[in-house]
Structure 1
Amino acid sequence: MTRRAAVIGAGLAGLACARVLRRAGLYVEVFEQDRIIGGRMATTRLGLESFDHGSQYLTARSTQFKTYITELTSSGYAARWKPRSSTGEEGGGQMMPWYVGTPGMSSIVRPLAESVRIHAGHKVHTIVRSEKGWDVWMDDETSIGPFAAIAIAVPAPQAQLLLGRLDSLADPLSRVRMSPCWALMVKLEERTLPDQDVFSDMSEVVRWIARNSTKPGRNSRGECVLVHASPAWSRETEEADPEVVAEELWAEVSHVLALPPVRPSRMVAHLWRHGLVDSSLGESYLYSSEHRVGVAGDWCLGRLAEHAFDSGTSLGRAIVASLV
């Protein structure tokens, strides 16, 4: 009988882990509280326009992530992005090549989700061990199981709650620090921004501004702008009304870029409550071969998408090794 494994979290780390497990012959079920998969590899539609409101681009340093990026580009799921710098040069100032998903960042995780069962829109409340393995209990008091092993790939604070009394796994997560990040999606009917595609660290409020519509595979009329607020400002306004946040962020963008008076046709703010990693775990993953439960995420190694992929892949290998 094929062994079953559960992965909680359908972001890049969770799905990278799921692929390793599936390739090892396990039957894999992935649980995701959101309606769509990808985590911060996110693409959201506002009317006819799409916005990458989470991760803005990818870079690759490790051999295994470089290999995956090559797979994505060769199959049309990703492409090189060369935004214009202040000098007008395409790709100017890039220390490493930037890659984006096509036609949106959510395409980055699509190949990882093949051949695994995904329970989208299901928030996991707790995991319970029985004689036959682990059962996963949802908020609606339904359960699925038993599973031979469980991988938890959600932000560290949420992972701690799910781990409960598994102190050997839960306690180290206390040293992880994460910050919120407000994202603002803006649709303009005409090109309004200066002749530059990305702006970074513009003020104490604004950390990132990008002309989203310049990414490969995007088709839009007018201009689609994506803004990320600074961690400090996002913390101060974490509980604020999103509509108020949207107005304040756009006013700041208009000020720092000296834009002409213009009213966006659409404007929506979204809060990533655990959007940035301030202090990482310092280990690729944590796994208990005794309990057959492990944790993974970008926060294990740093704050990059590559860290999430490498962490999830490493946890998947550890789980497979423990089940042999």
Structure 2
Amino acid sequence: MDLGRGPLTVVGAGIAGLACARALREAGRDVEVLDRGRAPGGRLSSRTVRGRPVDLGASYLTAGEGSPFADVVADWVDRGLVRPWTDTFAVVGQDGFRERKSGPQRFGTPGGSRSLAADLASSLTVRPGTTVREVTAGPAVDGRAVPAVAPAMPGPQAARLLDPSGPAGGLAAAETWQPVLAVVLGWTERRWPADLHGAFVHDDPAVEWIADDGDRRGDSAPVLVAHTTAGLAAEHLEDPATAVPAVVAAVRSALGIDEEPAWTEVQRWTFARPTAPREEPFGLVDGIGLCGDGWHAPAKVESAWSSGTALGRALAH
């Protein structure tokens, strides 16, 4: 592919977009990253709440043994950006604790997951606060010709930028995504088991997952983060705060907490996770590349990084 007309453009500074841009930069290509947010991160989102970072998007990292992403995570561990968290989570329901399940090692981020995006972006040209309105054949970004462009974002968002009658627009529009609300709940002291770590919630109409944010961050703060079901999120997307009472009730019931939280915060994710991520690592047609956790199934942080990296390498050759 001829990449001679100025920088290749990545739209979206989440982990897939940043991984794509880094792969291009490592191949010696000129690349820029445009993002409408104030800072890189996407769904690697953490926000300072009551004086400490709280993860609101991806709950943890995993890395396949011997995979390229495992090397990235190992480097983050060495530099203190990531810490081993746990390989065991609880399973709870409306009636409380049911069992414990072990799985792969999960990693948390002491400084918040956005710190990983900042690290990936550190050697890149990232232009925050930049809203892209259209990506057209050629390709071009808002009428500016580029050698290639990678809208690195959930398909429904990419579809808004692309020509719906074009092949890339058709690929993006074919994706369906579910919403989630992330509700942060803070107490004055911890009121749940020290070895909770996190809990998958079964058979509850309000909540699917609860993370012990103080445990995964390592500061023991009395803070939980609950992710809602897609159904509850869809009902409350226009006014997410109205979902909080149902989430509080579900968390208290599942974990046996006898007191209301001292405070709550809520974050809306309209496009939180793909309903059926593709097996292919990315889509590339006519100089327009699509990547992220809607590709390279199953959907997780490692998949998004791998998808963006694979697309970047394909564009570089």
TM-score relative to the length of structure 1: 0.85
Q: Is 1:283 paired with 2:291?
A: no
Q: Provide the rounded CA distance (Å) in 1 between the counterparts of 2:21 and 2:5.
A: 15
Mapped to 1, the partners of 2:247 and 2:288 lie a distance apart of 41
Q: For 1:82-231, list aligned pairs within 5 A.
A: 82=86, 85=89, 93-128=101-136, 134=140, 136-137=141-142, 145-164=144-163, 167-195=166-194, 196-202=196-202, 203-216=204-217, 218-219=218-219, 222-231=221-230
Change (3 A) 1:184 1:83: farther
1:146 is displaced (CA, Å) by 4.2
Change (3 A) 1:281 1:263: closer
Alignment partner of 1:299 is 2:298: no
Where does structure 2 lack aligned partners over 5 or more consecutive residues?
A: 92-99
Counterpart code for 2:73: I
Distance 1:309 1:94 in 2: 24
Match of 1:70 in 2: 74
Distance 1:263 1:298 in 2: 33
Structure 1 gaps, min length 5: 138-142
Deviation of 1:84 (Å) = 6.6
Task: Tell me the CA shift for residue 44 of structure 1.
Answer: 0.7
Q: Deviations over 1:189-225 (max 9, x none)?
A: 1112244221112422111111101124x446x5111
CA positional deviation for 1:165:
5.1
Q: CA deviation at 1:184?
A: 0.3
How many positions carry a matched residue from both structures?
302
1:225 partner amino acid: L
- The CA distance in 1 between the partners of 2:162 and 2:313, in whole Å, is 20
CA contact (8 A) 1:78 1:107 kept: no
Post-superposition CA distance 1:96-117 (Å, at most 9, x none): 1111223211222233212212
Q: Secondary structure at the match of 1:82?
A: strand
- Give the 3-state SS of the residue equivalent to 1:284 in structure 2: coil
CA contact (8 A) 2:233 2:240 kept: no
Letter in 1 for 2:277: S
Give the counterpart letter for 1:274 in structure 2. Answer: F
Deviating more after overlay: 10-19 vs 58-67: 58-67
Assess, with a 3 A threshold, how the Cα gap between structure 1 residues 73 and 194 changes in structure 2: closer, same or farther.
closer
Which position in structure 1 is the counterpart of 2:9? 6
Are 1:213 and 1:219, in contact at CA under 8 Å, matched by a contact in 2? yes
Partner residue of 1:274 out of 261, 271, 276: 271
Q: Which of 305, 310, 317 lines up with 1:314 in the alignment?
A: 310
- Secondary structure (helix, strand or coil) at the match of 2:75 reads helix
Change in Cα spacing, 1:86 to 1:277, as seen in structure 2 (3 Å) is: closer
1:41 aligns with 2:49: no
Report the TM-score, using the length of structure 2 for normalisation: 0.87
Query: 1: distance between equivalents of 2:78 and 2:254?
Result: 39
Q: Quick one: distance in 2 between partners of 1:233 and 1:31? A: 32
Aligned to 2:96: none
Residue aligning to 1:140: none
In angstroms, what is the RMSD of aligned CA positions? 2.3
Q: Is the 8 A contact 1:2 1:26 kept in 2?
A: no
Distance between the aligned counterparts of 2:5 and 2:120, measured in 1? 20
Identity of aligned residues (%): 26
